[in-house]
Amino acid sequence: MDTKRLRYFKTIADEGQITRAARKLQMAQPPLSQQLKLLEEELNVQLFDRGKRSLQLTAAGAALYEKAKIILGTIEDTVHEIKAMDSGEMGTLSIGVNKSCFYYLLEPMGHIRANTPNVKIQLREGDTYTLMQAMAERDIEVAFVRFPLNIEDFTVQYDAITLPAERYVLAVSTTHARSIEGVEVQMQHLSGIPLLLLHRTSGRGQYERVIGAFHRAGVQPNIACECPDAAMLLSLALAGIGAAIVPESTLQAFPTEGLQVFPIANMNVKAEAAIVWQRERYLSGPTRRMLERMRGIYRG
């Protein structure tokens, strides 16, 4: 059954006359009468009792009319929903995020909830290597990750919005912070402190950059723990297990009560991050809208 013909039938039933229905549909009366005749022939039933002044639905016509309202209403709702999803007003935003750069996700998430409450957000946490794999496998559309990306390890190409570079800081429990003098710490003074460092599950990343900075400074670091989860490192630091070296913005995304933070004065590397998505892949409306906002903020 042609949905256009079904819409013609419903309009005729609503108006009670073919003349008024044709006027509402902005078409001539003879073609509309022909469409009604073809529908009745297709169904092999009479849909209207044709009086002199108006048309009355037959029992079969009344049954079809109720179904037509449901069918056409569903189609209209579907069209509206698809358009809303493409515009970013509703749908699902599938994001991967590295905990060490979770801070940069807070603003867009707040904006999404305030302005597009019908958008559902799916978050997946992981280190850069894990999230790049998830994106290649299309489990997520976009990811907030730390450099280096090691793009050469993957078979697909990516585009990115670069986020601000930031310094690494030392986070230590307030109890153990008494052993550190001053408002900042020199790398040479860290050789005797158990350090907690971020380390990817696979590939080179922040760990290698931080270790390289120690070596260039002529310092042998005392590594107590390696972990890809920044929140776990901060919890270990709070428990007095050691001192965590993390990007400064990480401390803006997680509770820091009980921790004291020190800039590392002579560390010659910075933490870098980016919002990454797969090049030439179709992106959902919510994702496109978020990326547009992030470009405006960071002018990437």
pLDDT profile of the chain (300 residues), mean per 10: 89 91 92 93 92 85 92 80 72 92 92 90 92 89 90 74 94 84 86 92 89 94 94 94 95 90 92 92 89 84
Neighbours of 112 (CB within 10 A): 20
Q: Kindly indicate whether the domain formed by 3-86 is annotated with CATH number 1.10.260.40.
A: no
- The two beta strands, 259-263 and 168-173, are antiparallel
Ranges for all domains in the chain classified under CATH 3.40.190.10: 94-163+275-298, 168-263
**How deeply is 155 buried, as exposed, middle or buried, from its count of CB atoms within 10 A (0-12, 13-18, 19+)?**
exposed
pLDDT at 183: 83
pLDDT at 201: 86
Superfamily of domain 168-263: Periplasmic binding protein-like II (3.40.190.10)
* Confidence (pTM): 0.72
Q: For helices 29-43 and 3-15, give the axis angle rounded to 10 degrees.
A: 110
Q: Tokens 């590295």 — which residue?
A: 98
Ranges for all domains in the chain classified under CATH 1.10.10.10: 3-86
Cα(82)–Cα(88) distance, integer angstroms: 10
pLDDT at 168: 95
Neighbours of 250 (CB within 10 A): 26
pLDDT at 300: 46
Superfamily of domain 94-163+275-298: Periplasmic binding protein-like II (3.40.190.10)
pLDDT at 151: 65
How far are the Cα atoms of 4, 119, 135 from residue 10, in angstroms, in the given order?
10, 34, 47
pLDDT at 175: 83
pLDDT at 84: 65
